[in-house]
Structure 1
Amino acid sequence: MSTTYKVLKNDIDFLTAALAQSKVSVWYREDPDPIGHLIDYGGIEEGHTPESIRVAGSWFMRERFEFRAYIK
């Protein structure tokens, strides 16, 4: 099964995901690890600031994690 997603990087990406009510998951990535580790299955984005993102009631720092919105 193939899942299509978009990595959210800037405010426009996060706003688009929130308005589309896309499911957003949270991943921890380290260089040389190309895939990353799933931290939270997530849910709908509930808000964002320049420093953090709120997904399913939890806040995550933008600089520490990768956020993936699943495309329907």
Structure 2
Amino acid sequence: MGTTYKLLESDIEFFTAALAQSMVSVWYREDPDPTGHLMDYGGIVEVYSPETIKIAGSWFMRERFEFRAYIK
């Protein structure tokens, strides 16, 4: 049984993840590899803006990374 996650892309999805205190991981997107590479095990979304996301004290560029909220 695999881990289920929701890909976070919109502001409302980041808001919902922050409110629910969902665990969010950060993945580097690379065109040849559609699965991406895990960059940070992440944590709770602390702050989000149209350009950046702050997770567990670290800042990430939205256009460069993929954010996955784990569903229990």
Tell me if TM exceeds 0.5.
yes
Shift of 1:32: 2.3
- Percent identity between matched residues is 78
**Which one has the bigger strand percentage?**
2
Q: After superposition, give the CA deviation of every residue in 1:9-54 in whole Å (9 maximum; x if it has no partner).
A: 0100100100110000000011121111000000011010110000
Q: Which runs of 5+ in 1 are unaligned?
A: none
TM-score normalised to the size of structure 1? 0.96
Amino acid at match of 2:13: D
Amino acid at match of 2:53: I
SS in 1 for 2:35: coil
Superposed CA RMSD in Å reads 0.7
- Paired position in structure 2 for 1:27: 27
Q: Which runs of 4+ in 1 moved over 2 A?
A: none
Q: Which runs of 5+ in 2 are unaligned?
A: none
- Paired position in structure 1 for 2:49: 49
Number of residue pairs matched by the alignment: 72
Indicate whether 1:69 and 2:59 are aligned. no
